[in-house]
Amino acid sequence: MANNNDIEGLLLGSRAKSMLSAKTQALLNEHIAMELEAAQIYKAMYSWLEYKGYIGAAHYMKLHYQEELEHMDKIYQYMLDRIALPKAPQVKPANNKFTSFREVIKKALDHEIYVEESYKKSLDKVWAEKDHTTFEFLQWYVQEQVDEVAGFSLILDRLDIAGNDSSAILLIDKEMGQREE
Ligand code: OFO
């Protein structure tokens, strides 16, 4: 029969071993860095938009910035819950110079497509490892990307319809200012 010391040893032993493989931990750390990088990109974008007077679009992007930080924190927590120690990433400064409102939205859309592709590749990798829990966890991110890509695509389409009509562009800016979350 196990004595108290053995039981404590067993608990500590199981506590010390992560449920995530080293490969999956590295992959999740990359996504943490990617989410922080996305937050930095949106921070630079909302700053430029506000600086240029696109107040509504700046508000929209600021919420997006906050959302990226939440995405990052969600991965941190997942790793901790699976007994793995996440890394605090360092990211390079984001570009903060743009030539137009449209360019900002196009770059945001391109970035979201890139992030979606990256999550899909990670889904393939964790599936190959039979890590069903992480697979399910990462599926949430792919679904989130569907909404983000759709949102920026729609804004870009509307900006293309507006063309050089500044009243129409300001109307889109105003609509973006109505985003609540
Ligand atoms: Fe984290 O969703 Fe955009 O990048």
Cα-to-centroid distance, 69 and ligand 1 (Å): 9
Cα-to-centroid distance, 171 and ligand 1 (Å): 26
pTM of the model: 0.89
* The ligand 1 atom nearest the CA atom of 72: 1
To test ligand 1's pocket by mutation, which of 68, 140, 181 has the most ligand atoms within 8 angstroms of CB?
68
At residue 174's C-alpha, the angle toward residues 172 and 178, to 5°, is 110
Positive or negative CA dihedral for 92, 77, 71, 145?
A: positive
Amino acid identity of 153? S
Residue matched to tokens 């600021």: 62
Write the DSSP assignment of 62-100 as a string of letters.
HHHHHHHHHHHHHHHHHHHHTT--------PPPP---S-
* The ligand 1 atom nearest the CA atom of 35: 1
- In this predicted model, what pLDDT tens digit does every residue of 88-141 receive, in sequence order? 999 899 999 999 999 999 999 999 999 999 999 999 999 999 999 999 999 999
Tell me how far apart the alpha carbons of residues 103 and 49 are, in angstroms, rounded to a whole number.
11
- In this predicted model, what pLDDT tens digit does every residue of 35-51 receive, in sequence order? 999 999 999 999 999 99
Cα-to-centroid distance, 103 and ligand 1 (Å): 18
